[in-house]
Structures are given as C-alpha cells and as structure tokens.
C-alpha cells in the first residue's frame, strides 16, 4: 500500500458515554489523506461528540472507548502531553461560533501568534509576520492593520476567517470543521466554504466536515456519514448517498428543504401600509469628533394585504429587524404607518396598548426569548393577563391548553419550564404566545434560523396552517431565501436600510433584477445543493 | 483610554459634591449641637462660641464658606478637640488607617485569588472544599467575633502577638488587625474568583485553546484574564467594606486611626470632623472605584469600546 492511499485517520467502534447515557454508540469511519469526510446529522445526533471524544477534548465525566488511529498512533491511548503535541500542529479545529471561539480580550494577532510561538516554535517577531500572512491567506483585507484588531471589532465572517487562519497556522494534516458556516449569513457562508476548499487544496489537508446540512456537504465531501442518535446509519461516497439514499432518515434530510409556496392570495384589503419609514441611530460624537448618524432604515415604503405574507430578506445589518420593530412602533421612526385604516404615527405608548394585541412578534432565538423562570402556561397566557384582566384562572388555563394544541404541542407541556423543551418545541411555545391573543398581524423575526432543517419545515407548515385558519397577516424576516420562498406571497430584499427589490415572491426568485438578490438566491440554493 | 479616564472623573466629581452637600445638611438636621453639654452653657458664651465658629450665619452661607475652605484643602477646626484642626487630627490618623486598609486589601486580593484558583483547578477537590468551607466562615463570622478570638488565641494563650495598640506601626501590632479586616474579604474574593474561573474555563474560546493543544499555563492565562473582571469589579465594594470594617477593628485593637473620629464626631456633633471623615472616606471609595474602572477597561477592550457615549 503506498503512502497516499494509507488512511490518515481510522476510527473503529468509538463510543462516548456520560454515566448511563451513551451519546456515541460505536462509530467507525476511515479518512484518507487529502480527502474530505462529512459527518451529517441533526443537533444531538452525536457528531461533535464523536470528534471531540477521539481527540480527548470532552469533559472529565465523559467516557470514551474504542479506537481512533491517526497515522500509526492510537489517539485514545495517548497521554495528555503527547496528544497536546499533535493537536494544533497536525490536527486543527474550526468551531461553529466565531463569536465566542476567539478570546475577546486578546487581539487576533496575539491569538494566532500564540499558536505559532507555542506550537511552531517561531520567535515573537516571526510569529507576528506569519500571522499577517495567515490572515491574508484566510482572505482578511489589510492584514497588517487587522492583526491588531480585537474579535469584537470584526464581523462574524471575518472572525471565522481568523479561526481558520489559526487552524492552518501549523500546516496541519487534518482539519476538523465543526459547523463552520452555520452561524453565518448565507452569502458569507458560501465564501467561507470556498475558502476552506481552496485552503484544503493548497495545504493538502484532509478534512472532517461536521454539518447538519446534507445538501451543503455533498458539494464538498468525498464521503458522507449520516449520524442519528449516536450511530452512523448510512455511509458512502457523497455522490452515492445523495443520488441513492438507502435510509429513510437520509431521504428525509435530503428532502428537508422547504418547498416553494404553492398558492398566493390576491386582492385582499390592505391591513398595513407604511410610507417612507426611517429609523436613525445617532452615534454621539466625542470632544473632537462630530456626531454621526446611522440610517438603519432609510425611506422604506410597503403595503401588505390582509391574510398575505411579506418576506423581508437580507443579511444581518441590513435593517430588516429594525424595520419590523418600527412597523410595530417598538422603535421610534419617522414616516407614516397605517394599520387597519388607523394612522399609528401619532399614537403614544398608552394609545398603542389596546392595538398591541392585534400585532404580535415572534423572535429568532427560542432559547433567549422565553423566560427560564416562568412555566410554559404562564409564558403563553401572559398577554391575556394584560389584555383580558377579567379572565379567570381556570379560563386562562383552558386557553393555554388550546393554544398549545393549536401549535401541535401536547397541552401537558404547559406545566414545564422552557429549558425542559427542545428548540422546536420552544419556538412553538413562542408562536402560541403570540397566537393566544388572536392577532391580525404577526411579525416573525427569523423564526426558524436557530432550528434544524427538519424542525424548520414543521414550523413553516404550522405557520401556514395557522394563517389559513385565522386569516393572519405575516411579516416574515429571514436571511434564508429558501425559508422566505416557502411562505411569502411577496418578497422585499433589504440592503443597507433600503428595499432594493420588491415584488411577488415567484417573480423575485425566478427573475431577480439586482445582483445582490441573485447572490442571496445562489447562496440559498447552494445550501440546498442544487 | 484618556477619554475613558476623563469621562469617569467627570462623573466622580459631581458624585463627591452631592455626598458633601448631603452630609452637610443631614448633619445640621440632626437634633443637638456641638456645644451641648449636661449643663446648659451660659447663653452669652454659647452665642460667642457660635460666632467664633461661624455657626450663627445662615446655613447656605455656612455651606458656601465650607466649600471655599475645602477648595483650599482646609477641613476647618474641630469643634470637639478645640486645639486642633481637622487637618491636624487626620495627619496623624489617616496614615495609620491607610496602612491598615491597604494591607488588608492586598492580603485579601492575593490570598483570595490564590484560594480561588486552587478551588477552580480541581472542582470537588480538597482546595475547592477548603474554599467553600472557609468562605462560609469568613462571610458569616462578624469582625467583632473574629477579633476577640484572635486576641485570645494569639495574644493571651500563645503570647505570640500583642492584643492591641499600634506601637508606631510595628509589624507584630499589625498582624491581627490586618488579618481580622482581611478575612471576610478573602472569603468573598476566593468565592468570586473560584466561580469566575470555573465559568471562564468552560468558555468556548478556552475550548478552542484546548483543541489546539496549548499548554496548561497558557490556557490558565486566558482563563484568568477573563475571570479577573468580576473579581476586580468587586474590589471597589471591598474597599468600602474595609473602610467601614476598620471602624470596628480599630476600636477593638485600640488603634489610633480614622475609625474613632467617625463615631466620636457623629456623637459629639462635631460638624467639621464628621464632614472631614465623610469627605476622606467618600474620596477614597470614589478613587478606588475609578482605579477599578481603569483596570477593567485595561483588562477588557470591550469596556473601553462600550463606554464610548452613543
């Protein structure tokens, strides 16, 4: 067997357990030099645990057994010292959260430099010079200046580039990328993916790519391993698995793409009309610098009919969430807003309050938007206590049960706390909280972005069902055009606070005029794997 | 950083002014006066005394005069120890209290941080258990219980250390008061440090360092820097606690520091002395908080960033 064909990493019957709970149940796979293996599965399937277990990076309580042979070395038998000598130098990792995987208290140059000094034994001066080269390789503009930046001064995509620069610092043989693009905007994610592919080529690295998105990995991986509940249920070459999935779960993952909305309603009476909406945040100047204004939303006009859905597409920072808050009068804005024939522009907080029940909001993060100190029934009925204070306790409880049933949750869950529910269940609770007041307009701010694809589809179907049943009007905000396409009648694409393109959903997706819209569509379809 | 510093100073000055004004007027609201004795003074003498100390002027005018003198660094004459000015009294007492307080703070910081580090390195280990146990005792046992116990143990039983007195700051005389003053702070700092370091060690960027196989000391440097923020934030409060604690400790150990002026001045309605102690203590607390803010800003670039006015 020649050296090129010899496996770089052989994992055999790897098991990870925490006490009686086993999270990885006998995983085996082989990775050759220069190849990319993808481990695919939804959250909780054990894909990250497998890799961290093989590298001895799990907390003390975790017990890892089996075998993971890197070249000729059994990783599980190595002392911490010998393992540390491999890590960073021969095997490097890129993590999912670029926000938190870098130390906020050190400049990025210092963090890359530390690896070069301690792992590649470069001098301080050589490390700084090499750090700049690495930032340049990772596609950071002006590396000479950015090397002195702190992580909080960079965007998510730039931070991930820094993390990649750290990973390739010692020219590793194996790069492990754990959901490296999941936390990023779609167009940014596409560029990071290109970068990884390019670096893998030029450095001759092998790569383990962990992802929940089968459509994404099949474009870049040689082999695909589908994991569920701690086991690999299907493995094979990427083309084979994609073209001919044997396991039902794999087929589900492949099909897990929200379908385009089939029917749209037309000529509905206007429910919401906004004209020339502007939101400014002022950055007050200091002693020497003049005050600056940021136009988060700049002269946006839109009109939405009863029972219709408007999709606001755009990347983070484009002003779509600010616009939605302005429409609900949750941030001060200039311009005119009419809701159900009433001019809201001059209404103050007290005058808005009775109207609030008809205008509800669902947030992105189902982990942060529900109070961990309140039970589900209290969360769901909180709005009722404001808007229908006369309602009795038992009547409220009945309403809570009904509301949970409506979002297809077991009503018994109302006695639990949010942290005892899964992400999808939590988002259903957040929707129930909005629906219990029987609103007419619901603004959904990235309602599915924090969820797995399969769960996403369930939530989107639920939203559509609720809309049909109650004639609801939606404003749905997402960076993911695939999600928007699934539910929206009309799409407005936002960039830098302005709507750059607006029209019927089908038209925007099939015949986009703006290059930016085309980029968003390309990114969404890339994630889809078409 | 300069702008950050100036902004913090700009908020400290009005705070000090408000404290001075509050103390001045509250003190005058309290019933009684500096020249009240068991036997009523001759009205003529009382009137003269009041005139000499300018207590007969309208209150606002007195306040204005006081502020003018204060601007020249003059805290005025003591109304009780009539041969001394407040400045003269403080010139003797302040160095004693400052020595005591500074040493107690240093001991608290180093001993507390060391204990906390030991506790965090091995969760559930002996170090952690010592920290938890000692911390509980340090926090629940009040100074006036700890001090006599130490006096009994080290002073009367072992004859190792003097039970009281200052003796011009001989180190033997400092050990027990400094220990007494530092103990509760050691306990709190140790617990804070342990908790903050445990949280820091669980942070994703520490996991990144582990995944790169970085050496243990390097990982701890990063974790410690993240853990220092809550500990350093507490130190401003700790300084205030040490200052108030010193009133009790100085009394128990018979130390000629600022503490007694606090109590005696307030009881004797010695307006200028009380004002003097309030200003010194307030200035010390404000100064310490300013230092804490500067250290925090130096530790964490995001504080500098966020503190910029928007």
pLDDT tens-digit series, residues A278-303: 888 776 555 555 566 778 888 899 88
Domain check: are A327 and A276 in the same one? yes
A19 inside 8 A of chain B by CB: no
Whole-angstrom Cα Rg for chain A: 25
Is the ipTM reported for this complex over the cut 0.85?
no
Distance CA(A38)–CA(A221), nearest Å, equals 6
Distance CA(A267)–CA(A489), nearest Å, equals 12
If pLDDT is split at 50, 70 and 90, which confidence band does B121 have? confident
Domain check: are A342 and A443 in the same one? yes
Domain check: are A193 and A327 in the same one? no
Full-model pTM: 0.76
pLDDT number for residue A261: 65
Distance CA(B17)–CA(B67), nearest Å, equals 10
A346 pLDDT higher than 90: no
A174 in a domain, yes or no?
A: yes
For residues B205 and A166, is the Cβ–Cβ distance under 8 A? no
pLDDT number for residue A86: 92
Burial group, residue B171, by CB count within 10 angstroms (0-12, 13-18, 19+): exposed
A44 CB contacts (<8 Å, ≥6 apart)?
none
Burial group, residue A380, by CB count within 10 angstroms (0-12, 13-18, 19+): buried
B226 inside 8 A of chain A by CB: yes
**What average pLDDT score do residues A348-356 get?**
86
- Number of neighbouring beta carbons within 10 Å of residue B266: 15
Top-confidence residue, A154 or A113: A113
B282 in a domain, yes or no?
A: yes
A3 pLDDT higher than 60: no
B33 in a domain, yes or no?
A: no
A338 in a domain, yes or no?
A: yes
Segment (H or E) for A132: helix A124-137
CATH number of the structural domain spanning residue B300: 1.10.3720.10
pLDDT number for residue B309: 38
pLDDT number for residue B7: 82
B81 pLDDT higher than 90: no
What are the contacts of B175-180 at 24+ separation with CB within 8 A?
B176/B147, B176/B150, B176/B151, B176/B253, B177/B100, B177/B147, B177/B249, B177/B250, B177/B253, B177/B255, B178/B100, B178/B103, B178/B104, B178/B107, B179/B107, B179/B150, B180/B143, B180/B146, B180/B147, B180/B150, B180/B249, B180/B252, B180/B253
Our count of domains for chain B comes to 1
A136 in a domain, yes or no?
A: yes
Q: A118, A29, A10, A161: which is closest to A72 by C-alpha? A: A10
Distance CA(A366)–CA(A426), nearest Å, equals 5
B299 in a domain, yes or no?
A: yes
Lowest-pLDDT range of A165-169, A207-211, A244-248, B99-103 = A244-248
| Average pLDDT taken over every residue of chain B | 85
**What average pLDDT score do residues B102-121 get?**
90
A31 in a domain, yes or no?
A: yes
Domain check: are A69 and A95 in the same one? no
| Paired tokens of B298 | 């130096």
For residues A406 and A466, is the Cβ–Cβ distance under 8 A? yes
pLDDT number for residue B165: 82
If pLDDT is split at 50, 70 and 90, which confidence band does A112 have? very high
B202 pLDDT higher than 60: yes
Distance CA(A340)–CA(A343), nearest Å, equals 8
Domain check: are A352 and A278 in the same one? yes
A523 CB contacts (<8 Å, ≥6 apart)?
A186, A187, A189, A190, A481
Domain check: are A297 and A162 in the same one? no
A4 pLDDT higher than 70: no
Lowest-pLDDT range of A107-116, A261-270, A326-335, B202-211 = A261-270
Domain check: are A307 and A454 in the same one? yes
Q: B226, B193, B233, B230: which is closest to B300 by C-alpha? A: B226
A289: which chain B residues are within 8 Å (Cβ-Cβ)?
none
- Which residue, among B198, B213, B217, would best test binding to A if mutated, counting the most A CBs under 10 Å from its CB? B213
**What average pLDDT score do residues B262-286 get?**
86
What does the DSSP 8-state code read for residue A410? -
A101: nearest CB among B204, B215, B302 = B204
pLDDT number for residue A530: 39
pLDDT number for residue A421: 83
A216 CB contacts (<8 Å, ≥6 apart)?
A181, A193, A526, A527, A529
Top-confidence residue, A118 or A527: A118
Largest CA distance in chain A: 80
Three-state SS annotation for B93-146: HHHHHHHHHHHHHHHHHHHHHHHHHHHHHCCCCHHHHHHHHHHHHHHHCCHHHH
If pLDDT is split at 50, 70 and 90, which confidence band does A44 have? confident
Domain check: are A161 and A144 in the same one? yes
**What average pLDDT score do residues B213-241 get?**
90
B302: nearest CB among A102, A104, A287 = A104
Domain check: are A352 and A458 in the same one? yes
A82 pLDDT higher than 50: yes
| Paired tokens of A24 | 């990885």
pLDDT number for residue A206: 94
Distance CA(B285)–CA(B289), nearest Å, equals 6
B208: which chain A residues are within 8 Å (Cβ-Cβ)?
93, 95, 101-103, 163, 166
Paired residues of B40 in beta bridges: none
Query: Residues 79 to 98 of A: which have CB under 8 A from any B CB?
Result: 83-89, 92-93, 95, 97
pLDDT number for residue A525: 64
B46 in a domain, yes or no?
A: no
Top-confidence residue, B129 or A70: A70
Record: contact B205-A92, CB cut-off 8 A: no
Domain that holds residue B263: 86-306
Largest CA distance in chain B: 85
Query: Residues 156 to 175 of A: which have CB under 8 A from any B CB?
Result: 163, 166
| Paired tokens of B39 | 């036997």
Record: contact A119-B213, CB cut-off 8 A: yes
The arrangement of strands across the sheet holding A490-495 comes to: A359-362, A441-445, A473-478, A309-313, A490-495, A498-504
Query: What is the SS3 assignment for A446?
Result: coil
Our count of domains for chain A comes to 3
pLDDT number for residue A292: 65
- Number of neighbouring beta carbons within 10 Å of residue B123: 12
A421 in a domain, yes or no?
A: no
pLDDT number for residue B297: 85
pLDDT number for residue A1: 45
User: Which chain B residue has the Cα nearest residue A284?
Assistant: B310
B1 in a domain, yes or no?
A: no
pLDDT number for residue A529: 42
B122 inside 8 A of chain A by CB: no
A66 pLDDT higher than 90: yes
A296 CB contacts (<8 Å, ≥6 apart)?
A279, A280, A281, A319, A322, A497
B9 in a domain, yes or no?
A: no
**What average pLDDT score do residues B247-266 get?**
86
pLDDT number for residue A266: 63
Distance CA(B181)–CA(B171), nearest Å, equals 15
- Domain end marker among A255, A283, A298: A255
A376 in a domain, yes or no?
A: no
B309: which chain A residues are within 8 Å (Cβ-Cβ)?
284, 286
A365 in a domain, yes or no?
A: no
A262 pLDDT higher than 80: no
pLDDT tens-digit series, residues A304-336: 888 889 999 888 778 888 898 888 888 888 889
A95: which chain B residues are within 8 Å (Cβ-Cβ)?
204, 207-208, 211
Distance CA(A493)–CA(A65), nearest Å, equals 50
Paired residues of A237 in beta bridges: A223
pLDDT tens-digit series, residues B34-64: 777 667 778 888 888 888 887 888 888 889 9
Mark A86-125 as b/e (b = at least 16 C-beta within 10 Å).
bbbbbbbbbbbbbbbbbbbbbbbbbbbbbbbbbbeebeee
Domain check: are A319 and A348 in the same one? yes
pLDDT number for residue B240: 84
**What average pLDDT score do residues A192-196 get?**
89
State how far residue B189 is from chain A, nearest Cα, in angstroms.
22
Lowest-pLDDT range of A13-17, A224-228, B129-133 = B129-133
Domain that holds residue A140: 91-169
CATH number of the structural domain spanning residue A57: 3.40.50.300
B80 in a domain, yes or no?
A: no
pLDDT number for residue A113: 93
What does the DSSP 8-state code read for residue A234? E
Record: contact A284-B300, CB cut-off 8 A: no
Angle of helix A393-406 relative to helix A423-435, nearest 10 degrees? Answer: 120
pLDDT number for residue B146: 87
**What average pLDDT score do residues A29-46 get?**
88
pLDDT number for residue B308: 42
Domain check: are A277 and A135 in the same one? no
| Paired tokens of A380 | 């769901």
CA distance to A24, A30, A56, B68, per residue, from B54 (Å): 84, 93, 78, 14
Domain check: are A163 and A108 in the same one? yes
What does the DSSP 8-state code read for residue A511? S
Give the distance from CA B89 to its chain's centroid: 19
If pLDDT is split at 50, 70 and 90, which confidence band does B209 have? very high
CA distance to A273, B157, B197, per residue, from B117 (Å): 60, 34, 7
If pLDDT is split at 50, 70 and 90, which confidence band does A25 have? very high
**What average pLDDT score do residues A135-141 get?**
89
pLDDT number for residue A290: 57
A114 inside 8 A of chain B by CB: yes
- Domain end marker among A196, A220, A255: A255
- Domain end marker among A255, A283, A316: A255
- % of chain A beyond a pLDDT of 90: 29
A420 in a domain, yes or no?
A: no
A274 pLDDT higher than 50: yes
Q: A326, A324, A341, A362: which is closest to A273 by C-alpha? A: A341
């Amino acid at each position: 067997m020649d050296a090129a064909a010899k496996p770089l990493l052989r994992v055999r019957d790897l098991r990870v357990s925490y006490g009686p709970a086993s999270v990885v149940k006998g995983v085996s796979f082989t990775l050759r030099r220069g190849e990319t293996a993808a481990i695919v599965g939804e959250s909780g399937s054990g894909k990250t645990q497998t890799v961290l277990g093989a590298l001895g990076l799990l907390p003390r309580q975790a017990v890892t057994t089996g075998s993971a042979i890197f070249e000729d070395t059994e990783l599980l038998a190595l002392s911490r010292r010998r393992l540390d000598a491999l890590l960073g130098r021969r095997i490097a990792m890129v993590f999912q959260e670029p926000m938190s995987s870098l130390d906020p208290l050190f400049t990025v140059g210092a963090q890359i430099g530390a690896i070069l000094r301690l792992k590649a034994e470069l001098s301080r001066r050589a490390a700084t010079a090499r750090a700049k080269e690495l930032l340049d390789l990772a596609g950071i503009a002006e590396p000479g200046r950015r090397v002195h930046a702190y992580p909080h001064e960079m965007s998510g995509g730039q931070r991930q580039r820094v993390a990649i620069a750290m990973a390739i610092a010692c020219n590793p043989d194996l790069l492990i990328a754990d959901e490296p693009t999941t936390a990023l905007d779609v167009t940014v994610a596409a560029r990071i993916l290109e970068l990884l592919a390019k670096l893998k080529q030029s450095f001759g690295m092998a790569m383990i790519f962990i992802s929940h998105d089968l459509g994404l990995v099949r474009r870049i991986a040689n082999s695909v391993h589908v994991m569920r509940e701690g086991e690999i249920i299907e493995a094979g070459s990427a083309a084979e698995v994609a073209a001919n999935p044997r396991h039902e779960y794999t087929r589900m993952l492949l099909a897990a793409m929200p379908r385009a909305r089939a029917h749209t309603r037309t000529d509905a009476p206007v429910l919401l009309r906004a004209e020339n909406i502007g939101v400014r945040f002022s950055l007050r100047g200091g002693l020497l610098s003049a005050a600056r204004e940021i136009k988060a939303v700049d002269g946006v006009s839109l009109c939405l009919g009863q029972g219709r859905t408007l999709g606001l597409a755009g990347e983070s920072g484009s002003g779509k969430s600010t616009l939605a808050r302005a429409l609900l009068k949750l941030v001060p804005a200039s311009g005119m807003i009419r809701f159900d024939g009433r001019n809201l522009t001059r209404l103050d907080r007290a005058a808005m309050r009775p109207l609030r029940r008809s205008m509800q909001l669902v947030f992105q993060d189902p982990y942060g938007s529900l109070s961990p100190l309140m039970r589900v029934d209290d969360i769901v009925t909180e709005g009722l206590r404001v808007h229908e204070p006369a309602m009795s306790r038992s009547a409220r409880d009945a309403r809570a049960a009904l509301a949970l049933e409506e979002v297809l949750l077991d009503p018994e869950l109302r006695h639990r706390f949010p942290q005892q529910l899964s992400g999808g269940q939590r988002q259903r609770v957040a929707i129930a909280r909005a629906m219990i007041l029987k609103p007419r307009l619901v603004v959904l701010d990235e309602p599915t972005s924090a969820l797995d694809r399969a769960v996403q589809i369930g939530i989107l179907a639920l939203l559509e069902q609720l809309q049909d049943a109650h004639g609801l009007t939606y404003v749905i905000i997402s960076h993911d055009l695939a999600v928007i396409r699934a539910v929206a009648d009309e799409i407005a694409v936002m960039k830098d606070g302005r709507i750059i393109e607006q029209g019927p959903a089908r038209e925007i997706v099939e015949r986009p005029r703006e290059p930016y819209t085309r980029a968003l569509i390309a990114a969404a379809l890339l994630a889809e794997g078409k | 950083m300069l702008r950050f510093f100036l902004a913090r100073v700009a908020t400290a000055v009005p705070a000090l002014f408000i404290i001075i004004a509050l103390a001045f007027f509250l003190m005058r609201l309290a019933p009684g006066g500096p020249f009240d004795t068991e036997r009523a003074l001759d009205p003529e003498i009382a009137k003269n005394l009041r005139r000499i100390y300018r207590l007969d002027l309208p209150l606002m005018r007195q306040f204005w005069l006081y502020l003018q003198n204060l601007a020249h660094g003059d805290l005025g004459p003591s109304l009780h120890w009539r041969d001394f000015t407040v400045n003269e009294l403080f010139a003797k007492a302040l160095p004693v209290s400052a020595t005591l307080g500074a040493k107690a703070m240093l001991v608290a910081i180093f001993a507390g941080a060391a204990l906390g580090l030991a506790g965090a390195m091995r969760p559930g280990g002996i170090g952690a258990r010592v920290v938890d146990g000692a911390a509980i005792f340090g926090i629940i046992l009040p100074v006036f219980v700890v001090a006599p116990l130490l006096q009994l143990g080290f002073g009367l039983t072992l004859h190792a250390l003097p039970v009281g007195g200052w003796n011009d700051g001989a180190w033997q005389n400092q050990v027990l008061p400094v220990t007494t003053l530092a103990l509760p702070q050691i306990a709190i700092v140790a617990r804070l440090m342990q908790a903050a370091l445990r949280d820091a060690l669980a942070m994703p960027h520490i996991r990144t360092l582990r995944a790169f196989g970085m050496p243990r000391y390097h990982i701890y440097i990063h974790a410690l820097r993240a853990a220092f923020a809550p500990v350093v934030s507490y130190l401003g409060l700790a300084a205030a606690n040490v200052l108030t604690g010193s009133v009790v400790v100085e009394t128990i150990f018979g130390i000629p520091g600022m503490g007694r002026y606090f109590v005696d001045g307030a009881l004797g309605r010695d307006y200028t002395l009380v004002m003097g102690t309030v200003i010194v203590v307030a200035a010390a607390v404000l100064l310490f908080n300013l230092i804490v803010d500067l250290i925090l800003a130096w530790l964490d670039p995001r504080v500098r960033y966020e503190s910029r006015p928007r």
